[in-house]
């Protein structure tokens, strides 16, 4: 039951309209505080975000920010209950901006951010708290564009994807992409998408179309990242997107370029790490100054193989992984 509650709270934050997120963040905060209380044997979380241990009482590390990362941050926090007896983590969402604002005010130990901190924010934080925020990349969020192996297409640009998926898009047939797709006699591009409130859908839509344009109706909105790959394996006419980690030997991943003239990059770990692959973004965490005490121990644990396993489990790209393609 508690597990289910967590899932509901986390995903709702990803999709909540701005006016709701504040309230929801509060809900979640209350709930996680409850968990923290349980795990700390009735010890109340301290209000000051110092991250220093008091004898006999576990330290509460405050962690706030990105909605994309809130699932990940909570998975880490949950797993950490079994790792550390001297510290527990309190996670809340609200958006990357909220996290950075809290960092500037000095009310959190760690801010989650799905974008890099802006120079002005960095300056404000330094001025306000006297400490320079320290940046950690804790994982990557990368999507691959999949087609059937019989499809002769090997690469695609973001504007082309936008015309395939977007409302009033102009690309409806494979031949319009300049290829002869023999295995697809109807020549129709079958768009595979995700249900409209999944985080993957949100990120892909924003990467392709920004905030003003919607996807065209009539795409097949499958339920789950794995189903997307499974259907494309068996459907020569299909194109779809899913996390890079879901690739199998029976599908082909396309190289992607930002624009039609720009170089194309394959969706592999190296290109994600080099920031050349366009449909990927690093996930950041910021601490106030060089982390110390329990905060440092927690961040070291996140970046360790054990912590990075959780990144992989939630469908993100870990920093260094052996298993991913």
Q: Give the interface with another protein as residue ranges (CB under 8 A).
A: 8, 11-17, 20, 24, 184-186, 188, 190, 195-198, 201-202, 211-214, 217-223, 227, 230-231, 234-238
3-class SS string, 213-241? CCECCCCEEECCHHHHHHHHHHCCCEEEE
Contact 285, 112 (CB under 8 A): yes
Angle at 148 between CA 143 and CA 150, to 5 degrees: 140
Strand partners, 156: 256
Nearer Cβ to another protein, position 1 or 217?
A: 217
Which of 93, 86, 83, 76 lies closest to 55 in space, CA to CA? 86
Q: Work out how close the CB of 214 gets to another protein at its nearest, in angstroms, rounded to a whole number.
A: 5
Q: How far is CA 131 from CA 15, 290, 304, in A?
A: 33, 8, 25
Which of 140, 160, 72, 147 lies closest to 280 in space, CA to CA? 140
Nearer Cβ to another protein, position 3 or 211?
A: 211
Q: Work out how close the CB of 274 gets to another protein at its nearest, in angstroms, rounded to a whole number.
A: 30
Q: Work out how close the CB of 68 gets to another protein at its nearest, in angstroms, rounded to a whole number.
A: 13
Q: Work out how close the CB of 225 gets to another protein at its nearest, in angstroms, rounded to a whole number.
A: 13
Nearer Cβ to another protein, position 98 or 157?
A: 98
Nearer Cβ to another protein, position 223 or 320?
A: 223
Contacts 24+ apart (CB under 8 A), 204-207: 204/143, 204/165, 204/241, 204/279, 205/165, 207/143, 207/158, 207/278, 207/279
Nearer Cβ to another protein, position 8 or 177?
A: 8
Nearer Cβ to another protein, position 11 or 107?
A: 11
d(CA 266, CA 260) in angstroms, rounded, equals 15
Q: Work out how close the CB of 161 gets to another protein at its nearest, in angstroms, rounded to a whole number.
A: 18
Q: Work out how close the CB of 48 gets to another protein at its nearest, in angstroms, rounded to a whole number.
A: 31
């Amino acid at each position: 039951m508690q597990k289910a509650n967590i899932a509901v709270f986390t995903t709702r934050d990803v999709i909540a309209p701005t006016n709701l997120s504040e309230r929801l963040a509060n809900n979640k905060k209350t709930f996680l505080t409850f968990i923290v209380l349980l795990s700390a044997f009735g010890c109340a979380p301290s209000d000051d975000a110092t991250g220093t241990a008091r004898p006999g009482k576990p330290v509460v590390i405050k962690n706030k920010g990105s909605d994309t990362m809130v699932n990940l941050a909570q998975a880490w926090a949950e797993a950490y209950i079994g790792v550390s007896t001297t510290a527990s983590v309190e996670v809340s969402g609200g958006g990357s901006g909220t996290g950075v604002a809290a960092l500037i005010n000095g009310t959190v130990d760690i801010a989650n951010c799905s974008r890099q901190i802006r120079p002005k924010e960095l300056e404000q934080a330094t001025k306000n708290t006297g400490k320079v925020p320290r940046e950690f990349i804790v994982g990557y969020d990368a999507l691959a564009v999949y087609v059937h192996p019989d499809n002769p297409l090997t690469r695609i640009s973001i504007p082309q994807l936008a015309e395939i998926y977007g409302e009033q898009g102009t690309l409806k047939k494979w031949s319009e992409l300049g290829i002869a797709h023999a295995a697809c006699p109807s020549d129709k591009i079958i768009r595979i998408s995700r249900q409209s409130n999944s985080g993957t859908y949100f990120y892909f839509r924003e990467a392709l179309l920004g905030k003003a344009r919607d996807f065209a109706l009539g795409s097949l909105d499958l339920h789950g990242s794995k189903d997307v790959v499974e259907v494309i394996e068996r459907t020569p006419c299909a194109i779809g997107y899913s996390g890079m980690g879901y690739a199998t030997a029976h599908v082909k991943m396309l190289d992607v370029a930002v624009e039609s003239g720009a170089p194309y990059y394959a969706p592999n770990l190296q290109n994600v790490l080099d920031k050349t692959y366009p449909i990927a973004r690093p996930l950041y965490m910021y601490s106030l100054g060089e982390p110390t005490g329990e905060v440092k121990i927690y961040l070291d644990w996140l970046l360790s193989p054990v912590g990075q396993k959780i990144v992989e489990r939630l469908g993100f790209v870990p920093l260094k992984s052996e298993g991913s393609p």
